[in-house]
Structure 1
């Protein structure tokens, strides 16, 4: 089976002319172009694919260095605590407000005046501001209020 040739792999792609790409930092990259021939591939195990040259990167001023991907330098991005984001909101004047507790269930034994009072929002206490702002770092809060 190794001696029979079904396809000829080496003659499928032949190098024509390398392309030179120059970037802004004067680094030249050579990429070979290949033309397609209509000959069958040889799939025997003794043949290897030839015609492919390695990617050549050359720089006129410096030696080749290892590729390092660096972030844009903005630093760490804080994460919003999503459960807190659903519980608190900011008014137009920059105050943090919350809902009152006790309006979820067992409402039949609470009178209408109490249910109405529990429906309204209330400003977060000043002692809790640091906890809320720590959980919601991108909240537009007026810290003077």
Structure 2
């Protein structure tokens, strides 16, 4: 009884082969043995039907082994852009509130009295109903939504 041993090139158990239709195929087993009686009527024809895995020492599985360590891929989302005009108009206080300037202090200041101009030059908090609009324009703003 003759036994022939064929070896294929070693592949990593994590690598895969691709056929012409881009389907993933499992890697082939590492060793095949061809056991047949050469004097019998079943001559070697090179057909893969005669190929069997070796059973003498821990046969390799036909199914590719699963990796022992799970691979985790960090799925990062889309990198959002800051609206630069909004970044110049809004600030965040130490407590996490969004503040803005009052309108009406740019021009025609001669007819406004000093008290009114002083009031217009101060920063005021943004209304809570506008928080979603401001945070949408400034996605990386460190805002405390519970602060009021």
For these two proteins, the number of residue pairs brought into alignment is 84
| 1:105 aligned residue | 107
> What is the TM-score with the length of structure 1 in the denominator?
0.52
Aligned with 2:89 (options 87, 90, 101): 87
| 1:137 aligned residue | 139
Question: In structure 1, the residue corresponding to 2:139 is in which secondary structure?
Answer: coil
Gaps of 5+ in 2: 1-8, 23-72
* Over 6 Å off, 4+ runs: none
Name which one, 1 or 2, has greater alpha-carbon Rg. 2
How far apart, in 1, do the equivalents of 2:84 and 2:74 lie? 26
Mapping of residues 27-106 of structure 1, within 5 Å:
60-61=11-12, 62=15, 63=17, 73-106=75-108
Q: CA deviation at 1:59?
A: 8.0
How far apart, in 1, do the equivalents of 2:90 and 2:105 lie? 16
How far apart, in 2, do the equivalents of 1:126 and 1:118 lie? 20
Q: Which has the higher strand share?
A: 1
Over the aligned positions, Cα root-mean-square deviation in angstroms equals 2.4
How far apart, in 2, do the equivalents of 1:75 and 1:97 lie? 29
